[in-house]
Amino acid sequence: MAGIAAAAAGASKARRCHASNPTKQRKVAVALQARGGDDNTRVCIPLEELRNTDVDKVGGKSASLGEMISQLSDVGVPVPGGFSTTAYAYKEFLDKGGINDFINEKLSDETIYTDVNKLMEVGKAVRDKIMDTPFQPNFEEELKAQWLRVSGGDEKFTFAVRSSATAEDLPDASFAGQQETYLNVMGYEDMKQKVHLVFASLFTDRAISYRHDRGFEHEKVQLCATCQKMVRSETGAAGVMFSLDTESGFDKVVFVTSAYGLGETVVGGTVNPDEWYVFKPTLAEGKNAIIARTMGSKLIKMVYKAGGGSETVDTSSDERGKWSASDQEVTALAEMAVKIEKHYGRPMDIEWARDGDDGKLYIVQARPETVASQKKVGVIEEYKMLEKSSDVIAEGRAVGKRIGSGKVNILTSIDQMAQFSEGEVLVADMTDPDWEPIMKKAGAIITNRGGRTCHAAIIARELGIPAIVGCGDATDKLAKGDEVTVSCAEGDTGFIYKGIMKFERNVQELGELPPVGMKIMMNVGNPETAFTFGQLPNEGIGLARLEFVINNAIGVHPKALLNYDTIDADTKALIDARMAGYGSPKEFYTQKIVEGVATLAASVYPKRIIVRLSDFKSNEYKSLIGGDQYEPDEENPMIGFRGCGRYTDPFFEECFAMELEAIKKVRGEMGMTNVEIMIPFVRTLDMAKDVMEVLEKNGLKRGQDGLKVNMMAELPSNVFLAEEFLEYFDGFSIGSNDLTQLTLGLDRDSGLVAQYFDERNPAVMKGLEILIKAAKSKGKYVGICGQGPSDHPDLAKWLMEQGIDSVSLNPDSVIP
């Protein structure tokens, strides 16, 4: 549909120009009177004439679209035009049809809000009454005139007809999906019918229940119909984006989702979409700002039906294995989201579509985000499992950060609402907003389908109920009456455990860290938790373990990827399943490290983050896919082929080069110069010299573009030759775990000698003192990132007294 945005913008400009023409103004006044009176009695208004202050006239959706058409079309936010019916038209319809008294009588019965069957009966009676009542003649006349204006009389011109409620999309309430949406509406008669259905949808069971629970008086909410030119995304793609992270409330990212076809599959939760995070600060600098991506299954797409309406069809295997939007499109969408957020002055929930005909991107809706942005600032709520279990029945995408438990009740239809009891775990193929009256009774929600931005996820967040969506097979793996624990507190992946397990909930006031004589940094290795932990008071990340990213996001031995063409078929099949969407095995490995490091760096930007390059032991590398073909059997891997010794060995040279390529991209192309690197297990001065040459050979020269290279001081040789090692590095990050075990000559993994492991042993503390003094004497950085300061506050105090620059703690120790 070429020229959608141009038509809307042109109409907006024409309106602004005509305002100063007295002849035109007189004609407009006459036209208004012909339609039944002044501006407040118009029954239809073109979208381009509306502003955000017109919510009381045309509802939140129409007012917001008009605002964007008139205010943002000139700065690169294209919005399709159209028109809106008005609240006046709706009130007039209810009054003249005698419907008001009928509705008020039916909804005054308080028992319908606790009796699901009664609610369904009353809702149907009200909707039938509305549909049986014809529109008033002046409304029909203007509805047809607006249809002719926009469509040019073309019976095949397509519209999207959506609800727009006068109490809708307020900053503290989401009416997402509470009323109906109709797509691919063709011809005037079809449009008139769909507007009628939209009016009736103010009284769906879910909408009645939602307004009652949120304290909105039914008679004070009017419904308008937004009639908007349809974007031909059935042959393109569409999705939802938020101008913050919906799970943590982290506001420096735009969260973008996308799937093929019409966007209702993403909004309604019937598809697991592709997802991206775009970092706002580097986006503003023109850098490559996509810091993370996750490929969704995209099993279906919604397309036009011949003759009007829409239907879902299966996607092809080729579509499922590709990204539904390009990096350039995701970046352009994020730029639009930032502009919309800036204009409205608050985080926004935005729907977008890519037209399959002209290939252009359009914004089709924007409303205030109502959950993450409303969380109390300076307070953190934390749920934590108190028991460990390997008995995971199913997993999917976590919605929220909470934990719930109870007995499973599997529902296959909304008609089974009455069979659901308070506190049960709702399990369904998917839930749409029709299910809201029972969702609020659930102890947790589990679905086979859906993504983290669907209506069900939005409502679950607002209700504060843990939900896991997109499990794929939860209805097969769970049975009615099963006792389960639903955990959304362990990152982006939600886990459904067998049985009722113990967990705890803690609420803490964050406040400000009191001034102390050293910087408090954090140990964070999991990108999935970074946005939450990044909001704790901190001075950056003192230890980001790269092996966490490699193990969880990649899971394949780097040698197996480099030798992809010659590996066995079974291993190749496992790799193929993991690297869908990436051009080559090498790109997959490098890009996943890029995304992990960039996400961690973004969480504390512009504060420093010290990334420890990979420090897997041979037995840990062996556990990766393909690893058993490349790794030796070592008697004691803890002091074997690891760390710096690998980096400078010809066997690992090409593997290490991929890590360095990723770091170089994060710092250069992505502009995250807050990233520093740390080299672990540097046994000798020759190793230090050699690794610096390897770094420089791969484009990471110490000091160039502000790059700092630190050494993990964790060996007795590092203590004895502290000043000499500092000739090669910008500072020390003390690894107290290995330093303790190697100083005391014990295996920290052995329970037989565990009682002797103590970082406060005088020998260990002597080593710590030497390292701190050496760094101070040379004016270089020294921090500690081992477990010791997190476990022993007295050790942290002693380190501060010795003059250490920073202590890096586990996040749960930052706020005790």
- Concerning whether 224 is annotated as a catalytic residue, the answer is no
Question: Could you write out the three-class secondary structure of 627-688?
Answer: HHHCCCCCCCHHHCCCCHHHHCCCCCHHHHHHHHHHHHHHHCCCCCCCEEEEECCCCCHHHH
Q: Give the pLDDT of residue 33.
A: 27
Q: Give the pLDDT of residue 662.
A: 98
Chain-wide mean pLDDT for the chain? 88
Across the range 544-569, mean pLDDT stands at 94
Across the range 5-22, mean pLDDT stands at 37
% of residues, the chain, pLDDT over 70: 90
Q: What number of other Cβ atoms are within 10 A of residue 746's Cβ?
A: 16
* Torsion sign (Cα): 647, 653, 656, 662: positive
Q: Give the pLDDT of residue 6.
A: 39
Checking if the pLDDT of 446 tops 50, the result is yes
Checking if the pLDDT of 14 tops 60, the result is no
Q: Give the pLDDT of residue 537.
A: 87
Q: Give the pLDDT of residue 174.
A: 45
Checking if the pLDDT of 170 tops 60, the result is no
Q: Give the pLDDT of residue 428.
A: 92
Give the length of the chain. Answer: 816
Q: Give the pLDDT of residue 167.
A: 65
Checking if the pLDDT of 96 tops 80, the result is yes
CA–CA gap between residue 771 and residue 758 (Å, rounded): 18
Checking if the pLDDT of 126 tops 60, the result is yes
Specify the higher pLDDT residue, 463 or 689: 689
Q: Give the pLDDT of residue 525.
A: 87
What's the pLDDT tens digit per position in 202-232?
A: 888 878 887 787 777 767 778 899 999 999 9
CA–CA gap between residue 648 and residue 779 (Å, rounded): 28
Q: Give the pLDDT of residue 377.
A: 55
Which band of pLDDT confidence, cut at 50, 70 and 90, is reported for residue 433? low
Q: Give the pLDDT of residue 173.
A: 44
Across the range 157-176, mean pLDDT stands at 69
Q: Give the pLDDT of residue 254.
A: 98
Q: Give the pLDDT of residue 179.
A: 59
Tokens coding 278: 């775009």
Residues 6+ apart with CB under 8 A from 724: 685
Specify the higher pLDDT residue, 93 or 511: 93
Checking if the pLDDT of 175 tops 70, the result is no
Which band of pLDDT confidence, cut at 50, 70 and 90, is reported for residue 749? low
- Range among 114-123, 177-186, 204-213, 666-675 with highest mean pLDDT value: 666-675
CA atoms within 13 A on the CB side of 178: 26
Which band of pLDDT confidence, cut at 50, 70 and 90, is reported for residue 816? low
What's the pLDDT tens digit per position in 684-741?
A: 999 999 999 999 999 999 999 999 999 999 999 999 999 999 999 999 999 998 999 8
pTM of the model: 0.82
Checking if the pLDDT of 409 tops 90, the result is yes
Side-by-side strand order, sheet with 348-354: 290-294, 274-279, 253-260, 237-242, 348-354, 361-368
From the list 451, 441, 458, the residue with the least C-alpha distance to 374 is 458
CA angle 60, 63, 69 (to 5 degrees): 135
Checking if the pLDDT of 268 tops 70, the result is yes
Across the range 221-245, mean pLDDT stands at 94
Q: Give the pLDDT of residue 455.
A: 66
Q: Give the pLDDT of residue 720.
A: 97
Tokens coding 114: 């606790």
Q: Residue 431: helix, strand or coil by DSSP? A: coil
Q: Find the catalytic residue in 455, 557, 644, 655.
A: 455
Q: Give the pLDDT of residue 516.
A: 79
CA–CA gap between residue 580 and residue 408 (Å, rounded): 34
CA–CA gap between residue 574 and residue 551 (Å, rounded): 15
Specify the higher pLDDT residue, 35 or 8: 8
What type of residue is 369?
E
- The dihedral over CA atoms of 113, 117, 119, 124, expressed in degrees to the nearest 10, equals 180
What's the pLDDT tens digit per position in 584-615?
A: 999 999 999 999 999 999 999 999 999 999 99
Across the range 617-640, mean pLDDT stands at 91
Task: In the chain, count H helices and then E strands.
Answer: 32, 30
Specify the higher pLDDT residue, 465 or 810: 465
Q: Give the pLDDT of residue 218.
A: 64
Across the range 314-319, mean pLDDT stands at 95
Checking if the pLDDT of 136 tops 70, the result is yes
Q: Give the pLDDT of residue 39.
A: 62
- Concerning whether 792 is annotated as a catalytic residue, the answer is no
Checking if the pLDDT of 27 tops 70, the result is no
Which band of pLDDT confidence, cut at 50, 70 and 90, is reported for residue 512? low
Which band of pLDDT confidence, cut at 50, 70 and 90, is reported for residue 255? very high
Across the range 225-240, mean pLDDT stands at 95
From the list 210, 213, 201, 219, the residue with the least C-alpha distance to 107 is 219
Q: Are 418 and 121 in contact (CB under 8 A)?
A: no
CA–CA gap between residue 737 and residue 768 (Å, rounded): 12
What's the pLDDT tens digit per position in 659-699?
A: 999 999 999 999 999 999 999 999 999 999 999 999 999 99
